A and B are shown apart, each in its own frame.
Chain A
Amino acid sequence: MASPVPVMDDISLAALTADPYPSFRRMREAASAVWVSDARINLVTRFEDIMTIERDHKRFASTNPGSLMNKVMGHSLMRKDDEDHQVERKAIEPSFRPGVVKNQWTPVFDGIAERLIDGFANGGETDLFGSFAAPMASLCLAEMIGFKDVSWQDLAAWSQALMDGVSNYGTEPDTAQRAAAASQAVNAAIDAVLDHHRNRPGPTILSSMLHAEHPHSVEQIRANIKVIIGGGLNEPRDSILTTVYGLLLNPDQRARVTADPKLYRTAFEEAVRWVSPIGMYPRRVTRDTVLGDTQLKQGDQLGICVGAANRDETRFSDPDAYDVFRDRHAHLGFGAGPHFCAGTWVARQMVGEIAVPKLFNRLTKLRLDEDRPAIMKGWVFRGPVSLPVRWEV
């Protein structure tokens, strides 16, 4: 017999933000879905339940009429299902294919990483968040989109303002205003290059949108570019830092990975499992139904906690450990199903093949800064917000 969704009113947003994993464990043990009062949403935390959800988007939809995301960014592919979703997804695919990533984007990403490391390599110490991971993710994304004359700081600020706007739930007018301003700025940046890409087809995302079999309308371009700015910047940034952090915390694993560079890819994949950059994303229940041991009602909002599922002990042994050499199992860090991350192969290359190996290759005896500990934060999005390191110059 399925039970109603249990209520947990002793889990605070502050506790989730500081370290969600003990709370995630309690939720996994409690039920297939748990109402967390402070988060005002039903959280789903078990691996199998999330697979069930992702295999049945008729019962568990991404389309969400009341979505704040639609209001802030416009109606993007992330909040569409079926045909509507597929048409837009297919349109952007040519910029994201693994072969295109390898041939077109790798040299671009490579140059960006080298230049950034040149900027601090002689210093002996840095906080990798601001000096490397954030500009790396932002500069690469600007190239992929096809922007011209947009600074990495502006793009990063737009990304943050849009994401804050989406998770603001309409409570703070200031946040809503900043999101609206960022949205305008993105529209202007798109307008500035649209004709260029219309006349000169290439590998950029804007070009793919314009030259697809079913070209995007300007409205679709604006919404989908905003989703890509919101969702394509923080995640590679955070996973660069988490991979470096995981390796620096585990010297034996680091020694094996640096000795056999093809393991950097696995080190990245394990980082995305260990501390998933997107910890939670939403789905909507379309009719009364049962999920695992829990009765859900039509209209229920679900928070799909892949960050929790990736620590599910029924799937991963010793799940809290960062272990590059664990038995290989698919994880949910890139989601699953029709909305499986479009940028997966971009991230694998940018982070696992370029950013992280280059750091370890170029900075001799890289280590964590003994005096300034790394700081991890977040649960909907999670990663190091500061990663001070030192090396020998």
Chain B
Amino acid sequence: MVKITFIQPDGSSREIEAEPGTSVMETALANNVDGITAECNGSAACATCHAYFEEDRLNSLDAMAEHENDMLDFAACERRSGSRLSCQIKVTEALDGITVTLPEMQ
């Protein structure tokens, strides 16, 4: 199991045991973590699964495709250097202990 800590915009946080192979977006939804809408259910088409990943661990995440890169510019909340579409990030051992901060709005 891989531990992921989700932090809400109000600062509250929850640690979740994520299953390798699923996506971070699916992990959040399966555990009723607020703040992810995921209208397109992982097709990288809606930008409503936007989340801020810990910046010094971005290298351990799946690489960003051009499509995701473009989509992130149009997320409802400001794009920052840790911004990713959480549906495009697969849970792997490399993510263990990472924190994922949710935006104010999707």
Contact = CB atoms under 8 A, between A and B. Distances in A.
B48 A330 contact: yes
Interface in A333-351: 334, 336-338, 340-342, 344-345
Given A330-B48, A340-B46, A99 B73 contact: yes
B70 interface: yes
A342 B40 CA distance: 10
B43 A338 contact: yes
Contacts of B67: 90, 93-94, 97
Residues of A contacting B: mostly: helix
Contacts of A97: 67, 70-71
Interface string A87-100: 00110011001111
Contact of B37 (A55, A99, A330): A330
Contacts of B43: 89, 337-338, 340
Contacts of B13: none
B64 interface: no
Interface string A243-264: 0000000000000000000000
A98 B74 contact: yes
Interface residues of B, number: 17
Contacts of A337: 40-41, 43
A344 B73 contact: no
B71 A98 contact: yes
Interface residues of A, number: 21
B70 to A, nearest CB: 4
Interface string B27-44: 000000000010111110
A338 B38 CA distance: 11
Nearest to B67: A93
A336 B73 contact: no
Contacts of B46: 334, 340, 344
Contact of A99 (B40, B74, B106): B74
A337 B40 CA distance: 4
Given A330-B48, A344-B46, A338 B70 contact: no
A238 interface: no
A213 B41 CA distance: 24
Nearest to B73: A99
A54 interface: yes
Nearest to A328: B105
A82 to B, nearest CB: 12
Contact of A336 (B40, B70, B74): B40
A334 B74 contact: no
Interface in B40-69: 40-43, 45-48, 67
Interface in A81-129: 89-90, 93-94, 97-100
A342 B45 contact: yes
A35 B40 CA distance: 27
Nearest to A331: B39
Interface string A343-378: 011000000000000000000000000000000000
A100 B70 contact: yes
A27 to B, nearest CB: 23
Contact of B74 (A89, A94, A345): A345
Given A330-B37, A330-B39, A334-B39, A340 B45 contact: yes
Contacts of B48: 330
A28 to B, nearest CB: 21
A209 to B, nearest CB: 16
Nearest to A55: B41
B72 to A, nearest CB: 10
Contacts of B45: 340-342, 344
19 contacts: A54-B41, A55-B41, A93-B67, A94-B67, A97-B67, A97-B70, A98-B47, A98-B70, A99-B70, A99-B73, A330-B106, A334-B39, A334-B46, A337-B43, A338-B42, A340-B39, A340-B45, A340-B46, A341-B45
